[in-house]
Structure 1
């Protein structure tokens, strides 16, 4: 009987039986938790897991793959450790750790996963998935930094200018006004926002107290700056992994604006705390420790974060090939956008030669160094002009500012040196006396109250008085009154013929003559 069965009949029967089977089933690759400790899990079974891949537990908590070892995978938890136990099942998502970014985030406080923290409900509008870790744009895709990013601070805009696409480090001991410089810069972007040329701001708070973040959010709200700002918060009570990923989330949000042809500013406050969080995670993952117990790739961590800041070239077709753009963003890329970074680093007793400060100084395009002694003397912002520098320099200033404040930085540095010598007493020759007088008046002029940024045209006008010695006869304690009345006079009587002209970056003999005439008449009042 069996000899009469044909092969074709067997295959027909098998085909009929197989037709009913659903072949669309997908099998998840799952693993089992071997060990949990301080925000780090070791998982057995995820043979094909990839670095930086997002994993998910049955209870919804997510983790990111950090270590790929022969017999297990080390991952950092993006949630509370006490909710994960040994033996829990974890599955691969097949997605690289990313954040969903959209316009609806403006004005919101979120965590590094893009989830709202401000109690205002879900984030509205379309959102695009942006990877937290992404290759920085290559040299070919960058254009020179030559467009100013005004901070509204006379001391910064005149002596240490910041350009769009630059990375300028703010460094100093605790309580010297580092965050204030960054917040002033964000507040100063309000005029750009109202003029229709917004610089979208991302403030990343890493390892700070929740109350401090709340105060900053409140300040931004009061000053009308929250409309164009996103606050990413990973407070001191959050897991180390969230503090580690927070700056990458800020960079990813900034890249969304940059790659769609707009301008963005991201403040990392502060990277010392991110380095500590990364050290914590690395040590638990049993990675070998190096100098000051930091892992060996801490420099690489900060360089791949800060290299993502850039001003992108205008050719759209080239910009769209720029790098590993997410599928959702393809076709929406425009060139000409920029991402500016203001990383903040906290030093211990002014030691800029420590490991993390020297690392970040070498990656950035200059630093604003804040001095505790200057701060305590009332010189705020407490910028030490001797060791502060912008490696972009005058390219990031409008022409009028460059012309007026060109020598201010070197004059102030020389004045500081001379001032130190005059403390020994003795007679001064007239030239030294004049230099000291001018330096003291300029120092007073550069003092600025917190959260009151000044438009660039007013800065140029008042700095002209300082650099051209028009305050020679004004008493030192009357410099602020002179400044207030001088600017008031210009606003009331010379808005069009002086301030509007300076705003365009033009300074000519006509404008100079008016400034000198107004300064002379007001100086007479304060010379007695």
Structure 2
């Protein structure tokens, strides 16, 4: 039997004791009291903070949303399997965040930023961006002056959207709200090809998985997924995932905004987010308010939409921005922007319901899509009368501003007279003139799905319409005229279109447009 030497034992003990630290680490651990409907009540987390991420013993995560005297209310992120009465839950001492980097572009992710497109993990460096974050303060912002081209004639001419603006897209179901937003994403391909990409984020809340798959397929086929990220919280996902999905999208958008680049985010749609938030709030036993929504549903949307901004074009000031994540500070640049196109679904055209009025008051204007117009074949079905952009002409290039100046007024006047004309047949010449011009302009503003127009093509055809150069073209042949007119200009007068694109509308340009239009109208006369 080997002899045990006391000196060796004491040496081993000394060595082990030298690595001993007297300070003990106390993980604050609680116990689950009840679990059900995606809500957990736990006791023992006395120091838990509102919005803090907590971890359950099975690996599931949750967010603390209710702090009560003897327990905390936790909303589960993901499935509740493995979480049962009596199981332990511990604090993480950090708030919910998502990993964002250049590799997230072109991917489909869930609310927690995990890829769900089967293309493997997100590549490259990633940075932790908090889901909830304060919006930039007043001194870090700049007025909206740069246009965000949607490629939709009716919007770019009459309800322009600028970079950093929040423009609401509102209408009944099946009126083309998503189509307007997807077309806007497709139109950014022109800037991506030119090496100045506008990074797009499409947030799908509470939609069918098949719908999201179709949108991803459309974007991929058109080459638009190269600059787009899709955040999906499908109808089958828990309510908490649907509530936080728009915030995940905003965090991804803020990464591009704070690194000095333009980004566009589409929330499709915030009505479903509000419904999910109502569900979570009622399950947490918070008192219901109007339409059973909780009292802070306005704050839910205002704090989300205020995160869209045009950041000041000064790197030194931008670096001082409030609430910047530490990991992002070395990358911060000024001049970035995050433009938001939130979607709200109305019931039977009722824009005065609770959620629609809330979001209208938060945003910088709204595009109202009308079911009656849609059914009568006017697509996009934009109701010009009650659609408005509170940024207006500041978000247009000079040439577009000049040609479309009176278009909105003309169309509103036409709609008024059109209704009046139904009652009487003997109209004077000037009224007939307004009606005939209006009918042709309605045709000009019609546009097919996934068919965005470049800004120069838009200006050229709107100039022809607003100057009444199509008065001899039959209404049913206006689309044919438009196609020939734009094809001819692109083939024979590319220089004129380039001048329009640069924002100039010279006499030489207008003379060319007028003569080309007049030459073409001869071909279409009855």
Shared fold (TM-score greater than 0.5)?
Answer: yes
1:306 aligns with 2:294: no
- Give deviations 1:114-160, integer Å, cap 9, x for gaps: 00000111111100000100001111111000000000000000000
1:403 aligns with 2:402: yes
Measured in 2, the distance between the counterparts of 1:417 and 1:155 equals: 18
Measured in 2, the distance between the counterparts of 1:344 and 1:232 equals: 15
- The SS at the match of 1:162 is coil
Q: Normalized against structure 1, the TM-score is what?
A: 0.96
Measured in 2, the distance between the counterparts of 1:26 and 1:120 equals: 39
CA contact (8 A) 2:32 2:40 kept: yes
CA contact (8 A) 2:144 2:391 kept: yes
Alignment RMSD (CA, Å): 1.3
Measured in 2, the distance between the counterparts of 1:16 and 1:422 equals: 100
Question: What is the aligned partner in structure 2 of residue 480 from structure 1?
Answer: 479
- Give deviations 1:193-225, integer Å, cap 9, x for gaps: 111111100000000000000000001011110
Is the alpha carbon distance of 1:148 and 1:20 closer, same or farther for their aligned partners in structure 2, counting shifts above 3 Å?
Answer: closer
1:96 aligns with 2:98: no
Alignment of 1:86-485 (within 5 A): 86-485=85-484
1:507 aligns with 2:505: yes
Question: What is the aligned partner in structure 1 of residue 520 from structure 2?
Answer: 522
Measured in 2, the distance between the counterparts of 1:468 and 1:24 equals: 82
Measured in 1, the distance between the counterparts of 2:461 and 2:275 equals: 43
Measured in 2, the distance between the counterparts of 1:145 and 1:115 equals: 33
- The SS at the match of 2:331 is coil
Is the alpha carbon distance of 1:20 and 1:388 closer, same or farther for their aligned partners in structure 2, counting shifts above 3 Å?
Answer: closer
Residue 17 of structure 1 deviates from its aligned partner by 11
Question: What is the aligned partner in structure 1 of residue 10 from structure 2?
Answer: none
- The SS at the match of 2:322 is coil
- Give deviations 1:156-207, integer Å, cap 9, x for gaps: 0000000000000000000000000100000000011111111100000000
Measured in 2, the distance between the counterparts of 1:296 and 1:324 equals: 26
Measured in 2, the distance between the counterparts of 1:136 and 1:421 equals: 48
Residue 325 of structure 1 deviates from its aligned partner by 1.3
- The SS at the match of 2:179 is helix
Is the alpha carbon distance of 1:494 and 1:16 closer, same or farther for their aligned partners in structure 2, counting shifts above 3 Å?
Answer: closer
- The SS at the match of 1:81 is coil
Question: What is the aligned partner in structure 1 of residue 9 from structure 2?
Answer: none
Measured in 1, the distance between the counterparts of 2:453 and 2:521 equals: 21
Question: What is the aligned partner in structure 1 of residue 5 from structure 2?
Answer: none
Measured in 2, the distance between the counterparts of 1:232 and 1:470 equals: 45
Measured in 1, the distance between the counterparts of 2:77 and 2:19 equals: 42
- Give deviations 1:12-63, integer Å, cap 9, x for gaps: xxx9997563236422111111111211111111111111111111222110
- Give deviations 1:302-321, integer Å, cap 9, x for gaps: 00000010001022222111
Measured in 2, the distance between the counterparts of 1:19 and 1:215 equals: 62
Residue 324 of structure 1 deviates from its aligned partner by 1.4
Question: What is the aligned partner in structure 2 of residue 12 from structure 1?
Answer: none
User: Greater shift after overlay, 318-327 or 127-136?
Assistant: 318-327
Residue 82 of structure 1 deviates from its aligned partner by 4.0
- The SS at the match of 1:521 is helix
CA contact (8 A) 2:101 2:125 kept: yes
Question: What is the aligned partner in structure 1 of residue 40 from structure 2?
Answer: 41
Is the alpha carbon distance of 1:74 and 1:425 closer, same or farther for their aligned partners in structure 2, counting shifts above 3 Å?
Answer: same
Q: Normalized against structure 2, the TM-score is what?
A: 0.96
Residue 525 of structure 1 deviates from its aligned partner by 0.8
- The SS at the match of 2:31 is strand
User: Greater shift after overlay, 130-139 or 73-82?
Assistant: 73-82
Measured in 1, the distance between the counterparts of 2:391 and 2:15 equals: 74
- The SS at the match of 1:345 is strand
- Give deviations 1:405-442, integer Å, cap 9, x for gaps: 01101110110000000011320100000000000000
Residue 465 of structure 1 deviates from its aligned partner by 0.5
CA contact (8 A) 2:444 2:479 kept: yes
Measured in 1, the distance between the counterparts of 2:191 and 2:504 equals: 19
CA contact (8 A) 2:60 2:80 kept: no
Is the alpha carbon distance of 1:48 and 1:453 closer, same or farther for their aligned partners in structure 2, counting shifts above 3 Å?
Answer: same
Measured in 1, the distance between the counterparts of 2:264 and 2:422 equals: 42
Mind listing any 5+ residue stretches in structure 1 that lack a counterpart? Answer: 1-14
Measured in 2, the distance between the counterparts of 1:17 and 1:197 equals: 60
Measured in 1, the distance between the counterparts of 2:488 and 2:337 equals: 37
- Give deviations 1:255-312, integer Å, cap 9, x for gaps: 0000000010000000000000000000000001000000000001100000010001
Is the alpha carbon distance of 1:382 and 1:89 closer, same or farther for their aligned partners in structure 2, counting shifts above 3 Å?
Answer: same
Residue 81 of structure 1 deviates from its aligned partner by 2.6
Residue 327 of structure 1 deviates from its aligned partner by 1.4
- The SS at the match of 1:330 is helix
Measured in 1, the distance between the counterparts of 2:217 and 2:19 equals: 62
Measured in 1, the distance between the counterparts of 2:78 and 2:481 equals: 55
Measured in 2, the distance between the counterparts of 1:317 and 1:20 equals: 46
Residue 75 of structure 1 deviates from its aligned partner by 1.0
